[in-house]
Amino acid sequence: MRKFLLLGAAIAALAVSATAHAQELKFAPGEENRFTWENYEELKKTDLKGETLTIFGPWRGEDEALVRSVLAYFQEATGANVQYSSSENYEQQIVIDTQAGSPPNIAILPQPGLIQDLASKGLLTPLDQADADFVKNNYGAGDSWVKLGTYKGKDGKEAFYGFPYKADLKSLVWYVPENFEEAGYEVPKTWEELQALTDKIVADGGVPWCIGLGSGGATGWPATDWIEDIMLRTQSPETYDQWTTNAIPFNDPKVVQALDIFAKIATNDKYVDGGKAAVAATDFRDSPKGLFSVPPKCYLHHNASFISSFFPEGTKLGEDADFFYLPPYASKPELGTPVLGAGTLAMITKDSKAARAFIKFLEMPLAHEIWMAQSGLLTPLKTVKQEAYANDALRKQGEILTNATTFRFDGSDLMPGKIGAGAFWTGMIDLVGGKSPEAVATDIQKSWDAIK
């Protein structure tokens, strides 16, 4: 998630706060069948008149307007006075507020490390076991999401604190359907087929991949997504977890193998537009442009769901550009269909009847569907009406999430900042610059050892 936050800077310096009262309901209850309006009727049975529910979250700008449109339904149905606030420096603000004894009822955060810190200081209230069971039984890869929301409290015991709401999807490969059709290429279903397609494109005189790692002070981060996706396709989820916590070292052969697989793509002049020299020099926002050149400069681009924001103006997803799930190895069926992503978790930082009711609201499909219908929200909740998605592209991404057998949070965001947003990034630049995977992995491990 740290990577997503780097994509744009907030423009307001002060926290904003307002009730949802002035927010009209975006969709009239009962008028469109794509919403689960029974939830709204059920919500009316919870009387919260006279209660104030304070919510602090990361969403600002357009996203703030979207989350307020969802909160309006909770407020209108229950009678609660809902107040949402955020801050340009929300990570620091939530720490200040909780430690000062003036926390919001609900905090919604995208950083597991920060959540663990709050939990270990006793600043979070555990959710009910029923909430964990709900996630396990109703989310795609439910066990993964329960694990993501589970942290050690002040007493050292694990409890379920974070209810997942709003996910980001990374395990995608983008392409132009017209280019595939003209060349006679088919979307690969396995990693082996993806490799065969890569070689076929080269044999036909084309270039398979566009890769760009440039991102100012964050240069290198797109390669970490590659490594994380490869780890999930070559190793067990447990090994992935051990890697992100340094329970196994960064230069473990299992990690080095993932680095090597990526390096063999990114440093092959025949595989990458502009050759290996262009990989680190190309800004990630510019890297997909080669898909749309005539003739195409590349046919494939690996990046998260947000990358379509940087496609040429007027690009229609599903027509001018499309994506497919980064496929797993056919030779490793035991690993299923893993998905890499990120997301936000809702926690109780000041317990109340309204706070508990709000968590139950997030279990309702309607709490997801209102945002889904306006675009910008993906959910692994299997009970939502898929037709609520604003377009086919989002619906398809939502299906990837709900069909996943394993979900894992962005690995570099789970690592200490000096590693995940430091040594890992710079190591990727060294890797594409020609340094061996073993040497790169050892350098990163030395950085990790230095912070112990």
Amino acid 289 reads K
Summarised one tens digit per residue, pLDDT across range 361-376 is 999 999 999 999 998 8
Q: What is the pLDDT of residue 8?
A: 40
Q: pLDDT tens across 184-226, in order?
A: 999 999 999 999 999 999 999 999 999 999 999 999 999 999 9
Task: Give the integer Cα–Cα distance in Å for 298 and 287.
Answer: 10
Long-range Cβ contact pairs of 313-321 (< 8 A, separation 24 or more): 317/391, 317/392, 317/393, 318/391, 318/392, 318/393, 319/177, 320/176, 320/178, 320/292, 321/174, 321/175, 321/176, 321/177, 321/291, 321/292
**Residue 24 pLDDT level (bands cut at 50, 70, 90):** confident
Alpha helices by DSSP H, listed for 209-273, are: 221-234, 237-245, 253-266
pLDDT band at 3 (very low <50, low <70, confident <90, very high): low
Q: Looking at this protein, which amino acid is placed at residue 263?
A: A
Q: In Å, what is the CA distance from 188 to each residue of 169, 300, 325? A: 19, 11, 9
- Integer Cα distance of 78 and 417 in angstroms: 41
Residue 247: pLDDT band with limits 50, 70, 90? very high
What phi and psi values does residue 337 have, to the nearest 5 degrees? -120, 85
Arithmetic mean of pLDDT, 252-275:
98
pLDDT (tens digit per residue) in 58-110: 999 999 999 999 999 999 999 999 999 999 999 999 999 999 999 999 999 99
CB 209 within 8 A of CB 287: no
pLDDT for the residue 285: 97
d(CA 15, CA 84): 10
Mean of pLDDT values over 217-246: 98
pTM greater than 0.85 (yes/no): yes
Q: Which domains does the chain carry? A: 2-169+341-409 (3.40.190.10), 172-337+412-450 (3.40.190.10)
What average pLDDT does the segment 252-273 reach? 98
Instruction: Spell out the residues 6+ positions from residue 382 whose beta carbon is closer than 8 angstroms to its own.
Output: 138, 139, 140, 402
